[in-house]
Structure 1
């Protein structure tokens, strides 16, 4: 198996399960209480396999990010903020000689209001909501907060975590974090309803969305990191939904579908919404996925009749001006009212690219990569030099995608090479996945029992949707396909999956790992039945989906797949851990983000633990005799989800985002359900964990 370390760079990385109603309200606008947006008649996988078996006349009874990042790699010439960036890809396997065996003491499931870590480890909070980011940011005061202050402070809920080294300095880096959504119950003392919020408070919430770029520094020679102290933090930046300008790139930019009264050019968008997971590119930028953007838009009931089906497919209500859970941001900024600005919806749902080394530059939204509820996007450079990004659409019964660039990556430190690489995601070919199982569909009965061959596996095809300005979907133009990508996936018969979230390539093997968080609607009523790729009815625990591209060609059109982990209680019959002894593994529920250490171990963070304990971070080998031996590394406080994770290339530090601690119905600033991390009221934040003896985390 080829080693992809030279061509795979830092990749990182949401949602559902048995989450509290408060989380469901604020994070996704109660998506699970609404009809499933995918009403397509796509055949479920079992129908496809039955048809193929009939054609052949044969019936068979039976026959896994942040990827590691190279601290201390070659430096770039200091040509100013816009030019400075990591150089060429660096070897990921800094510890290629070690076996990568995981030896940490397993953390037991718990419901404690703290970050719980193994014996022999330490952890600390790197940064939390309200901490200063930009120079001149005032000290945080929950009772005196303003939109201007929040626009300079660390935003609210944090999901994606990326750590990018500053060229020429092993002990300084840029921490880049997404701020996915706000919870006004836990932000404003005395909160009652959205209607009761002042316009200023609405603007505070809008400013708390977006991203933060924060310079951090290592503490001594340990694995601990903290915000850097300097008179001039030249790269620190808050990117907000309130005022930051974004540039649209690719075929949709300038088209009629994205033009508005405020932007008749159709090229400049204000803000980014509901940024979930993401990835780090080989040229040192960050990709961020716009996910549940639908909940911020109102007035869908007043749009033209021919527009409503398209809004419905993206979960935007067309029957009420203010649907359940509406944030009513139109009171602060008119653009969120679709009755007045129907195209505003089409300006969100993209992959965002941020250059953390260009604090004055506009981040970009890449329309060539398609529009849906992006969990994130993670990049690998294929053997032929083209960039390939893998993406999941985080919705029940939605799809897996990949994007292949037209241009080739230039492996060089030079400024001209970086300028070229910054254009790679502006044009290319977009594909959606269609998969089949290799077992008789009758063996997939919805209980999670493996088929006769003992594993869930099969083959897959990447179906071409659009290439440049050429559409491969009958009846849709290239601009239509990219703007309404879900409808294009419906039209070509893509396979309905159980909420595809973070998708990450392995640095060792080039295999691709996707987290299928859960889907309690699978097999219920008239919804799609279980199939070999999604084998359980009412799937509340989720699973991991593993892709092996044929011939190791990431630009190719075919692949094989397996389910190495089917999550849940190991004692339950409907779980599977790569064939490993289930008495020796930890219970896990609702995988969300995935990452790799330098030895190739898969790390999984969870969101929505349906087993009654706090969410956590887990690790497992995915190759060799211990494949599937999954163990819990840490847990987060009450009500929180574990996001990230990011593991540095020396394996000395693992970062996680503790998102929405204390998000439990009835909680408030005055009566918190969690007091993490400061003992007063809950504040989302980023945590770093390291070994006391300085050794590699995990092993």
Structure 2
């Protein structure tokens, strides 16, 4: 919290009053003196620089015998701060002042900042600096007789540091943030997006979710909006919030929870659940001083649901793999589902990623006999094996294809693919591009980026290079991918009016790669490019050998293609994100269980296998239950590199009882320990938190540490690949084994702190900030997910203001806006 003192004339959260700072030559040179000031040159100049200068403006003879019109000016003492802090300059002037020329502050040297305020008191945000840098400011007053009097002050700015007290563990039903920060609850499940849509009752009676905010808020991005309704990447007061709605907490959507009638789901219930999925586009507005609201009747507002028309682009578009009763030519589809993480392009579009789509589909027992061995292998490898499908939507109707499409069973041995939805599952598992500025545009599925359990799609753009799109496949034992565009980035395309055409240019043609992590800290990108000599995926377990037929085949069956090349199986590859300064890529690996990562199943990139007993029951949690974060640096720092260096940036751990040598390898404490890293984000490069040494944000989707604390958000200032060294871990988990690996520097209170803890049974997911870095947006997903319809286990967000809601009040997923009370940069 900012404190002010008129005698010091400067303030920030720390009020650094170290008087050892000496005036710089440039600050003294910036001082200007009247005829009377010249008498005080020499030692007196130093005193003036610290304490302010009392100036007498002459009026009458030159020897100053008259004091008529005297003006006294003070600029306050020199001070120190760090990047991102709010600085207040307080000047004072007394005497016979001019009526027409007000006293004013100007900056006379150092990195230029924007001064806000008038007359005696102004503020600014300390800029990003690589080393201590002096900023000099001059306060000028004019007498009634036209004489000017000045004084200067120097503010020394040091590099950015984390500037908040770590939030402790919490099991409370509230989003807890550091002291000096505030939370505003924004768009919640069911909030209306048109003027005609009624307010949300939150009792199970609500309908029309095609015009309401969906459930399970996930990845988000704030697209700045100009006054004329066009993209403005620098706008921090108006924008379009694009957010994924990954899933549903079905017991809270219906009056008495979900029901069936004669074994079938009621159509109204199924439609509500379907429409709660997808993506929302909502206009957000700052009413002033970061008082955020959303515009219910904005013409930009839009819901994209599993029923929204889509078009396919890239190598698989128009192939037989995508033919359905709805899309006879394999070029069209409907909707997007289980949207998890995201990506943002350089031409102002949003990429939403379809993750766990497979479970929504039903396949009857009769289907296997009608499938080819290739089809059966593909269905199994991609997880389309359920005989009911999530939520049993296909039972809601036998004729309405909004519901029958979720049944992927072949209708008969003689029916063509155009007669049913046997290939409907192939229409999901893609990266989908959305133009948020054009509500009438048709989203495009980009098949060149592969089909799998897409967690996210981080787009790295570097001048003069091809685009790199980094993607994780969120299942245990899956892979890290990279797509490199054929086209080289052209700066002019950032402002293209036909934004989806830019997606055609950069996302439909290129090479898809999969990563192999070597034991020595190097790695290789292996191309997934069809040729007659592309390796056969060998037979294994229940899978027969699989021979690829085309690039479309590789795009649809990307997991098989990665298997064939021998990619490195990872511990649930989640979000990908890039450091905006170094270009290094970070991959969160949420966790693995013992069946996948036993002691004899580790490797250098996934090196731990241990037991983390949970709670008083001492329930075993074995494998790698707390997860870790891998980072890599492309050789040559180019997106098209075929090799890279890597290390493990952080290991999740319960610091209270974890083995400090072999489990808590990063040296976590109760102020920064975490489990199951999921979301990841770097502060925007348009503000000090994203410059020089950018702040990284880590969100958790935890099930291992939740006996101690709810899920959380941490802020970090990470180092670089190679800042640690080689270690050998001794794993003890039903046996003993050793594993060599490469780790990053240990965590400290200076470079990793817990910033937020969420409410009961939630996941923290989805994060972005305004370009100025003064508002942070965060998603709170499925609070109270384990509660019952009549007895919810959480009441958030109704508890956020300290209220005690009635026992039957249902929780709602929601997005929150976090601001610093003094208006400074978040985290600094």
Q: After alignment, is 353-362 or 573-582 more displaced?
A: 573-582
> 1:439-467 deviations in whole A, cap 9, x for unaligned?
xxxxxxxxxxxxxxxxxxx1100000027
**Is 1:240 aligned to residue 322 of structure 2?**
no
What are the within-5 Å matches in structure 2 for residues 414-429 of structure 1?
414-415=495-496, 418=499, 420-423=501-504, 424-429=506-511
**Is 1:95 aligned to residue 128 of structure 2?**
yes
Counterparts of 1:471 and 1:585, CA distance in 2:
53
Counterparts of 1:483 and 1:411, CA distance in 2:
32
Describe the shift of the 1:669–1:545 C-alpha distance in structure 2 as closer, same or farther (beyond 3 A). same
Counterparts of 2:220 and 2:295, CA distance in 1:
17
> 1:69-93 deviations in whole A, cap 9, x for unaligned?
xxxxxxxxxxxxxxxxxxxxxxxx9
- Higher RCO, 1 vs 2 (CA within 8 Å, ≥6 residues apart): 1
Instruction: State the shift of 1:327 in Å.
Output: 3.1
Counterparts of 1:173 and 1:94, CA distance in 2:
24
**Is 1:617 aligned to residue 617 of structure 2?**
no
Instruction: State the shift of 1:342 in Å.
Output: 1.3
Contact 2:236–2:771 (CA<8 Å) still a contact in 1?
Answer: no
Instruction: State the shift of 1:410 in Å.
Output: 2.3
Match of 1:348 among 422, 428, 452: 428
Match of 2:782 in 1: 660
Instruction: State the shift of 1:580 in Å.
Output: 6.7
Match of 2:512 in 1: 430
Match of 2:593 in 1: 520
Counterparts of 2:660 and 2:305, CA distance in 1:
43
Runs of 4+ with deviation above 6 angstroms: 575-580, 624-627
**Is 1:500 aligned to residue 566 of structure 2?**
no
Aligned residue for 1:154, secondary structure, equals: coil
Counterparts of 1:511 and 1:658, CA distance in 2:
28
Match of 1:322 in 2: 388
What are the within-5 Å matches in structure 2 for residues 242-641 of structure 1?
243-299=307-363, 301=365, 302-303=367-368, 304-306=371-373, 307-317=375-385, 321-322=387-388, 326-332=391-397, 333-340=403-410, 341-412=421-492, 414-415=495-496, 418=499, 420-423=501-504, 424-438=506-520, 458-466=521-529, 472-474=534-536, 475-476=547-548, 477-521=550-594, 529-537=601-609, 538-571=623-656, 572-573=658-659, 582-583=668-669, 585-597=671-683, 598-599=690-691, 600-611=694-705, 612=707, 613-623=709-719, 628-629=747-748, 630-641=752-763
Counterparts of 1:213 and 1:220, CA distance in 2:
22
What are the within-5 Å matches in structure 2 for residues 123-138 of structure 1?
123-138=183-198
Q: Which runs of 5+ in 2 are unaligned?
A: 1-83, 85-125, 131-157, 227-231, 398-402, 411-420, 537-546, 610-622, 684-689, 724-744, 799-804
Instruction: State the shift of 1:623 in Å.
Output: 1.9
Q: When the two structures are superposed, what TM-score results if normalisation uses the length of structure 2?
A: 0.66
Counterparts of 1:433 and 1:528, CA distance in 2:
22
Aligned residue for 1:466, secondary structure, equals: coil
Aligned residue for 1:105, secondary structure, equals: coil
Describe the shift of the 1:414–1:129 C-alpha distance in structure 2 as closer, same or farther (beyond 3 A). closer
Match of 2:797 in 1: 677
Counterparts of 2:202 and 2:500, CA distance in 1:
42
Instruction: State the shift of 1:193 in Å.
Output: 4.7
Aligned residue for 1:327, secondary structure, equals: helix
Counterparts of 1:698 and 1:514, CA distance in 2:
22
Q: How many residues align?
A: 577
Instruction: State the shift of 1:182 in Å.
Output: 1.2
Contact 2:175–2:757 (CA<8 Å) still a contact in 1?
Answer: yes
Match of 2:768 in 1: 646
Contact 2:241–2:284 (CA<8 Å) still a contact in 1?
Answer: yes
Match of 1:446 in 2: none
**Is 1:151 aligned to residue 237 of structure 2?**
no
Contact 2:347–2:495 (CA<8 Å) still a contact in 1?
Answer: no
Counterparts of 1:585 and 1:269, CA distance in 2:
47
Counterparts of 1:237 and 1:361, CA distance in 2:
11
Instruction: State the shift of 1:219 in Å.
Output: 3.3
Match of 2:827 in 1: 698
Instruction: State the shift of 1:573 in Å.
Output: 2.6
Describe the shift of the 1:337–1:170 C-alpha distance in structure 2 as closer, same or farther (beyond 3 A). same
**Is 1:104 aligned to residue 164 of structure 2?**
yes
Task: Indicate the RMSD between aligned Cα atoms, in angstroms.
Answer: 2.5
Instruction: State the shift of 1:601 in Å.
Output: 1.6
Contact 1:464–1:472 (CA<8 Å) still a contact in 2?
Answer: no
Counterparts of 1:533 and 1:694, CA distance in 2:
41
Counterparts of 1:414 and 1:292, CA distance in 2:
34
Describe the shift of the 1:513–1:695 C-alpha distance in structure 2 as closer, same or farther (beyond 3 A). same
Contact 1:577–1:628 (CA<8 Å) still a contact in 2?
Answer: no
Instruction: State the shift of 1:299 in Å.
Output: 1.3
**Is 1:120 aligned to residue 180 of structure 2?**
yes
Aligned residue for 1:422, secondary structure, equals: helix
> 1:25-82 deviations in whole A, cap 9, x for unaligned?
xxxxxxxxxxxxxxxxxxxxxxxxxxxxxxxxxxxxxxxxxxx9xxxxxxxxxxxxxx
> 1:477-513 deviations in whole A, cap 9, x for unaligned?
2111100000001111000000000000101110000
Contact 2:433–2:500 (CA<8 Å) still a contact in 1?
Answer: no
Match of 2:271 in 1: 203
Counterparts of 1:204 and 1:416, CA distance in 2:
35
Describe the shift of the 1:401–1:535 C-alpha distance in structure 2 as closer, same or farther (beyond 3 A). same
Counterparts of 2:287 and 2:159, CA distance in 1:
28
Instruction: State the shift of 1:99 in Å.
Output: 2.1
Describe the shift of the 1:226–1:259 C-alpha distance in structure 2 as closer, same or farther (beyond 3 A). same
Describe the shift of the 1:217–1:316 C-alpha distance in structure 2 as closer, same or farther (beyond 3 A). same
Instruction: State the shift of 1:221 in Å.
Output: 2.1
**Is 1:226 aligned to residue 298 of structure 2?**
no
Match of 2:245 in 1: 179
Describe the shift of the 1:687–1:329 C-alpha distance in structure 2 as closer, same or farther (beyond 3 A). farther
> 1:606-633 deviations in whole A, cap 9, x for unaligned?
0014122100100111128987332110
Contact 1:191–1:197 (CA<8 Å) still a contact in 2?
Answer: no
Contact 1:286–1:356 (CA<8 Å) still a contact in 2?
Answer: yes
Describe the shift of the 1:311–1:219 C-alpha distance in structure 2 as closer, same or farther (beyond 3 A). same
Contact 2:429–2:454 (CA<8 Å) still a contact in 1?
Answer: yes
Aligned residue for 2:405, secondary structure, equals: helix
Instruction: State the shift of 1:648 in Å.
Output: 2.6
Counterparts of 1:545 and 1:253, CA distance in 2:
33
Q: After alignment, is 615-624 or 561-570 more displaced?
A: 615-624
Contact 1:296–1:329 (CA<8 Å) still a contact in 2?
Answer: no
Query: Higher Cα Rg: structure 1 or 2?
Result: 2
> 1:210-257 deviations in whole A, cap 9, x for unaligned?
1000000113123x422036xx5121101111x210111001111001
Aligned residue for 2:507, secondary structure, equals: helix
Instruction: State the shift of 1:346 in Å.
Output: 0.3
Counterparts of 2:395 and 2:514, CA distance in 1:
34
> 1:545-565 deviations in whole A, cap 9, x for unaligned?
001111111111100100010
Contact 1:111–1:638 (CA<8 Å) still a contact in 2?
Answer: yes
Q: Which runs of 5+ in 1 are unaligned?
A: 1-67, 69-92, 439-457
Describe the shift of the 1:671–1:480 C-alpha distance in structure 2 as closer, same or farther (beyond 3 A). same
Q: When the two structures are superposed, what TM-score results if normalisation uses the length of structure 1?
A: 0.78
Instruction: State the shift of 1:578 in Å.
Output: 11
Contact 1:158–1:178 (CA<8 Å) still a contact in 2?
Answer: yes
Counterparts of 2:663 and 2:637, CA distance in 1:
24
